Chain A
Amino acid sequence: MSAQILTVKMENIGNLFKAIAADQKLYLPLEQAGQVQFLPYDPADDSQKVRLDVLNTVRSAKDLFFPQSENMVAFKKQGKKIDIIENREKVEAFTVFGVRACDARSFDILDRVFLSEPVDVSYAERRARGTVVTLACNEPEETCFCETFGIDAAKPDGDITTWIADGLLWWQANTNKGVKLTDKLLSVDAGLFVDSTGEAKALEEQQEKIREIISQLPLHGLSLEYFHKEELKTIFNSPKWQELSEACIGCGTCTFVCPTCQCYDIRDYDTGNGVQRYRCWDSCMYSDFVMMAHGNPRTSQVERFRQRFMHKLVYYPANNEGIFSCVGCGRCLAKCPSSMNIVKVAKTIGGEANV
């Protein structure tokens, strides 16, 4: 990959966005009624507020590749005959800017599920057409623990990595897709970027600063060593699940804000004109999750609660070369109504390593 590093002045960042949005949809962390989300950027709309200072959007960048709900197919009755109508949304090329290191890593975890056979066509299509521009975290939060998963908030993955330092946005393409976007931008406006390759001292200083902060965070050094498949049964049978799950109210907040949760349900909706089949996120915390004809395999909240963390910390790694299904973004820490979260679970169940 090219190690070319480009910069654009922060005050001109609007031009960059406009240039990207010229021929494709651009998703930016925008403010909506007080909350920050990845929303389509509209160059013509001055009221949109770009919030690059906010670390985590409430919903992760996962939404753009695996939306909360999407149509799959529809059925329509004509007299006594049933037509099957494919009405999956067409995916156009798009770019998402401002993805943080943790979210960027979450795509790897989702890819392992959705892109292995049988390939999830919708997800694959979005992954193929979406360009991910990441942004390093200048101000990590106390809830961050991406470091535990070997993620470097100072050098996020993604098709293009960017940093904000010294009043400049630093831009480095990592993949072919990234290079393509960069080239396209340059072809439209050659003066958009300044080539700062080899003059990246400010950038390196910023990276150092980030790493320094991360080493001071309260969750620095969190260990998940205890969680591996050999301990599966011991962990599963731990009596501690009961007390941990007592606070859980069984909502889906943690799963819906989680960048790596990937469960969905397929449902039919009778519109009166026909039946629309769609899929939507599901949460293993729900009482009707994987409801089957005979009923529900996990009848109590403790089982459902355990399932979620077993999946993240044991089952998924067991099937994926030890990679945890968590990126340490800290969203569940911030959002759980009962303040129960993966860190508390990790420390309670796999206690010794964290004492």
Chain B
Amino acid sequence: MQNADREINKEKISVAEMAKQILEQGRADRLMGWKRGEFFYDNSPAVFENLSELDDFVYDLFCGSNLSKFLVKESRKDGKIAVLLKPCDRYSFNQLVKEHRIIKDNVLPVEIDCDGMLDIDKIRALGIKGIKKITVDGDQLQIDTVYGPKTCAREDVLLMKCLTCKDRVGGDRFELVKEIEAMSSVERYEFWRSELSKCIRCNACRNVCPACTCEKCVFDNDKSGIANKANTDSFEESLYHMIRAFHVAGRCTDCGECTRVCPQNIPLHLINRKIIKDLNEFYGEYQAGEDDFSKGPLTRFDLDDVEPDIVMERGGNK
């Protein structure tokens, strides 16, 4: 990690205290962090300009959102902005700096610790309704609801991206990809049909994606030839996600935001992971955003790269 100019919390003070000090000491003019929500779990990304605004600052188990992308706009404003980066968010930050999307000089990156964020949708999917409060009790969560107390394992309701955290020994992040690869071609087709036909083209995946920062997206550009607003045909359901995955190929840091925000819970990250897996296998391990200078795998080559035929020899139902 290239982090010479980064803030690292050496004294182990709380994140809120850190935020306060940064603004107090004038190390930055603004600070990007999270703001307390209506409930306890709906924290929103927010920019804090003064100490009084910091009263609403929050850093807890529901700060899953990746703040890097906001800097594309924020770093172009006057003054310096400090940004709180969880370990996984640094990759997106680096990648955006590499692509000159973030103006590095205007940003003070602040690295903060994270023990894994919770996914309220996963809690709801367990059938837990009317959630009023959650307390962490070791590996368990005590959930206070309108319908009485409930419990669940913390591990079961972590955000997808936290399960295979890059900065921790996590599980095999390609496990599901491998499962799909092992399916027959028809099964794969059916799997993606049933998943992608849920897509409502809300563009949340695109708009949250730190690799999707185009000045004008091809899907919004009538001249691109593929602009569309709705999945009018089943083909377009796939096309949108294929093109998006390909556009971020080699640049996707696997931050998992796409899956986090999908209102239909489509496991979009699997497409990106498949591409990452292929890139790693074909052209050597590469982690986008590991640094802010290296060329991505699709903008370089080796003389003895594998031939496209290799695809014919792989996967289920060869």
Contact = CB atoms under 8 A, between A and B. Distances in A.
Interface stretch (B100-108, B164-172, B197-205): B197-205
Interface of A, helix, strand, loop or mixed by DSSP: loop
A338 B129 contact: no
Interface stretch (B175-183, B258-266, B274-282): B258-266
Interface in A243-270: 243, 246-247, 249-253, 255-257, 265, 267, 269
Given A33-B198, A280-B232, A344 B129 contact: no
B243 interface: no
A253 B47 contact: no
Given A139-B147, A256-B202, A343-B38, A282 B130 contact: no
Interface string B25-56: 00000000001011101111111000000000
Contacts of B125: 34
B317 to A, nearest CB: 21
B47 A246 contact: yes
Interface residues of A, number: 54
Contacts of B229: 265, 267, 280-282, 286
B245 interface: no
Given A139-B147, A217-B130, A344-B37, A37 B208 contact: no
B247 interface: no
Contacts of A320: none
A32 interface: yes
B129 A35 contact: no
Contact of A251 (B130, B147, B202): B202
A253 B204 contact: yes
Contacts of B230: 68-69, 280-281
Nearest to A300: B73
Nearest to A219: B38
A218 B200 contact: no
Contacts of B131: 142
B204 A344 contact: no
A337 B208 contact: yes
B45 A213 contact: no
Contact of A55 (B41, B47, B65, B129): B129
Nearest to A346: B38
Contacts of B197: 32
A122 interface: no
Contact of B194 (A33, A53, A218, A247): A33
B146 interface: yes
Interface string B218-234: 00100000001111100
Interface of B, helix, strand, loop or mixed by DSSP: loop
Interface residues of B, number: 52
Interface in B58-107: 65, 69-70
Contacts of B260: 337
A223 interface: no
A335 interface: yes
Contact of A141 (B130, B206, B231): B130
Given A269-B232, A280-B230, A288 B220 contact: yes
A301 to B, nearest CB: 9
Nearest to B230: A280
Contact of A247 (B38, B44, B130, B206): B44
Contact of A35 (B120, B203, B206, B265): B265
B146 A217 contact: yes
A58 to B, nearest CB: 6
B207 A251 contact: yes
Contacts of B127: 53
A101 interface: no
A252 B232 contact: no
Nearest to B203: A251
A255 to B, nearest CB: 8
A142 B132 CA distance: 7
B195 interface: yes
A250 B263 contact: no
A140 B260 CA distance: 24
Contacts of A139: 129-130, 147
A241 interface: no
Task: Give the most central of B43, B130, B131, B220: most A CB within 10 Å.
Answer: B130
Contacts of A253: 202, 204, 261, 263
A28 interface: no
Interface of A: 32-35, 37, 53, 55, 58-59, 68-69, 139-143, 213, 216-219, 243, 246-247, 249-253, 255-257, 265, 267, 269, 278, 280-283, 286-288, 333-335, 337-341, 343-344, 347
30 contacts: A33-B198, A35-B265, A58-B263, A68-B201, A139-B130, A139-B147, A141-B129, A142-B131, A142-B145, A142-B146, A218-B39, A218-B132, A246-B46, A250-B207, A252-B203, A252-B204, A253-B202, A256-B200, A256-B201, A256-B202, A256-B263, A265-B229, A278-B232, A281-B230, A282-B229, A335-B263, A337-B257, A337-B260, A339-B41, A341-B38
Given A68-B231, A218-B39, A280-B230, 15 more contacts: A34-B265, A53-B127, A69-B231, A69-B232, A142-B39, A142-B131, A143-B39, A213-B130, A218-B38, A219-B38, A246-B46, A247-B35, A251-B208, A253-B204, A256-B200
